[in-house]
């Protein structure tokens, strides 16, 4: 069961790099990067949007696969995080670069690049630290951080929290083309992550006990 201790807490015996879920993660990342490179080569904002959609769909599929087939591992969670940020970095830098030739705005690239830069800093630095913090506790992934701190979990890794943190910025920026609205959302997400980081530091990140080296 999803909420059972066997599902929540990590089992060292089951830890391995290659599972069905991580295989999907590697494949969807390769596809996303290929589309990002193709979009940059063609100068096509449409292809970069397709890459974003493929990234979101693939990220959902590998997570659901891990839960359906009970192959959630701490290794897999970390691989997923790194691949997410690699995919986002490639796609968002491409969007900022190609935006002047896009269909949805005549704003200078420098203005559109500001909210994207803030979002990438929030997602690739602060959110990465928050997401990796689960490794200090014996849980399988941030999806179970509610057993450590429910408030941090709800703001960051609940289904609503994930959707707001990963999808809202891109969807609103691409649909409206308003760089200033993207800036507001990026700053709001940055503030949310900073508050979450403060809560985490107040909670305290445990340090493993020292053991004698054999």
Tens of pLDDT, residue by residue over 1-32, are 455 777 899 999 999 999 999 999 999 999 99
Rounded Cα gap, residues 137 and 141, in angstroms: 9
Residue 145 in contact with residue 158, Cβ under 8 Å? no
Query: The whole model's pTM is what?
Result: 0.89
Q: What is the rounded CA–CA span in Å between residue 205 and residue 83? A: 24
Instruction: Please count the structural domains in the chain.
Output: 1
Q: How far apart are CA 193 and CA 126, in angstroms?
A: 7
pLDDT at 101: 44
Percent of the chain surpassing pLDDT 90: 70
- Which structural domain range is residue 34 located in? 5-203
Per-residue pLDDT tens for 52-107? 999 999 999 999 999 999 999 999 999 999 999 999 999 999 988 886 544 445 55
CATH of the domain at 171: 1.20.120.1760
Inside any domain, residue 211 = no
Does residue 72 form part of some domain? yes
Spatial separation of the C-alpha atoms in residues 88 and 34, rounded to whole Å: 13
């Amino acid at each position: 069961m999803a909420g059972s201790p066997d599902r929540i807490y990590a089992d060292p015996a089951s830890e391995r790099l290659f599972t069905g879920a991580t295989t999907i993660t590697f494949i969807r990342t390769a596809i996303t990067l290929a589309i990002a490179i193709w979009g940059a080569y063609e100068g096509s904002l449409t292809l970069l949007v397709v890459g974003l959609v493929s990234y979101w769909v693939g990220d959902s599929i590998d997570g659901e696969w891990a839960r359906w087939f009970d192959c959630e591992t701490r290794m897999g969670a970390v691989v997923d995080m790194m691949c997410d940020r690699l995919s986002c970095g490639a796609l968002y830098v491409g969007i900022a670069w190609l935006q002047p030739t896009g269909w949805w705005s005549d704003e200078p690239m420098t203005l559109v690049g500001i909210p994207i830069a803030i979002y990438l800093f929030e997602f690739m630095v602060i959110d990465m630290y928050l997401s990796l913090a689960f490794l200090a506790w014996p849980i399988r992934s941030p999806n179970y951080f509610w057993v450590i701190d429910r408030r941090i979990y709800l703001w960051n890794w609940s289904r609503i929290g994930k959707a707001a943190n990963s999808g809202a910025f891109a969807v609103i920026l691409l649909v409206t083309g308003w760089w200033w609205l993207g800036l507001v959302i990026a700053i709001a997400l940055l503030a949310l992550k900073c508050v979450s980081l403060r809560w985490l530091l107040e909670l305290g990140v445990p340090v493993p006990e020292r053991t004698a080296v054999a």
